[in-house]
Amino acid sequence: MEFPVRSVSRVTSSLCALLRLLFEKSRKALCSNKMFKLPLGTLGSQFVRGASRSTSIATRSASVRFASTNSTSTGTFESLLTSRASLVSVTLFSVGSIAWYTHLYGSLPFIGEAHASSLADEGLHPPAYPWPHKGWFDTFDHASIRRGFQVYREVCAACHSLDRIAWRNLVGVSHTVEEARAMAEEVEYTDGPDDNGEMFQRPGKLSDYLPAPYPNEEAARASNSGALPPDLSLIIKARHGGADYVFSLLTGYIDPPAGVDIREGMNYNPYFPGGAISMARVLFDGLVEYDDGTPATTSQMAKDVVTFLNWAAEPEHDERKKTGLKAVILFSTLFAISIYVKRFKWGVIKNRRIFYKPPTDQAH
């Protein structure tokens, strides 16, 4: 099927005329509106005129090549499409059209919907809080760990377990041996079998792990409307954002905004993915009474329990930093000594000079 150059020229001219008319009408509409002072219509017209001139030049050059070489119409059409002028014209027209639409309507519709959908599905990104243990040489606030454990025992332990922490782990971190042993003995643990092959109850010991609130997963789901409360041993490491996310989640409960429907039994929290979370707000001012007299505000309790959970996820945190500092000092010293020994040992060989003394004729 033939596709003459004249037909290409006519189609191109018609398209350019149509685009010129469209931008002229847009320019008149923009100029009639006092809100738009920028000459976007003029820029669009210049865009189309430039595209028309470039396309006309490309068409004329294509027709000359067609007449001189007697090539087929398909080859002429491909040369027209691959010409640089046509590609530049189409690119400029596309960019200008998008800029014009964005100036009139604010943004492209699918981009706004995708951004809103991403925020709703992934939740708000938590801000970065200045935790006192985030520095290279900083350790945990152990007073905050003690208060955080109190918040966990009185508030969080009713639903969430802490399977990886034993009573002995608290010794020397937040409690003394006597305090940890006294708290462990308050809990009854199932042990056995005894000499008769039966299980029995006994007071807890330092070697026992903190008790779980539910005997199994099914009981946990049945008590929480089908939702499974996660274990908090590694919750700081298991969530993107770490301590910042958990703190924002505990303090971020608000009323759902207009247009957001939350089904019965759910609560709105913008930091939770999807916005709907089954866990209700649990921290309120004055909920616990700290032993050291610290005011138990919502943010203070959230900060303390997050510090405790951070320690639970990384109980080796302080020791790791101390060991790392010692290793840096040790290896730095060894590196300096090795550099000195290397230069001292190889200095003679590297700096020596070898001269050649030709043999001289000895007098006979």
CATH of the domain at 258: 1.10.760.10
Residue list, annotated binding site:
156, 159-160, 279
* Residues of the chain above pLDDT 90, percent: 53
Quote the pTM value: 0.64
> Which is higher by pLDDT, 224 or 72?
224
Question: What average pLDDT does the structure give for the chain?
Answer: 81
Q: What span, in angstroms and rounded, lies between the C-alpha atoms of 292 and 150?
A: 12
Taking the CA atoms of residue 155, residue 159, residue 161 and residue 166 in that order, the dihedral angle to the nearest 10 degrees is 40
Quick check: 251 and 236 in contact, CB under 8 A? no
pLDDT band, residue 121 (cuts 50/70/90): low
Strand ranges for 88-219 from DSSP E: 188-191, 200-203
d(CA 278, CA 87): 55
Which amino acids are annotated as binding site for heme c, given as ranges? 156, 159-160, 279
What value does the mean pLDDT take over residues 257-272? 90
Q: Work out the number of other CB atoms within 10 angstroms of the CB of residue 93.
A: 17
Residues 138 and 274 in one domain: yes
Count of structural domains within the chain: 3
344-362 confidence digits (pLDDT tens): 888 888 888 888 888 887 6
SS3 126: coil
Same domain, 156 and 272: yes
Structural domain including 146 reads 126-165+209-315
Closest-CA residue to 104 (of 42, 24, 40): 40
pLDDT tens sequence across 131-160: 999 999 999 999 999 999 999 999 999 999
The percent of residues above 70 in pLDDT, for the chain, comes to 71
Whether residues 87 and 11 share a domain: the answer is: yes
**Is residue 269 located within the same domain as residue 154?**
yes
Structure tokens belonging to residue 84: 């640089």
Comparing 26-40, 80-94, 191-205, 312-326, which segment has the lowest mean pLDDT?
Answer: 26-40
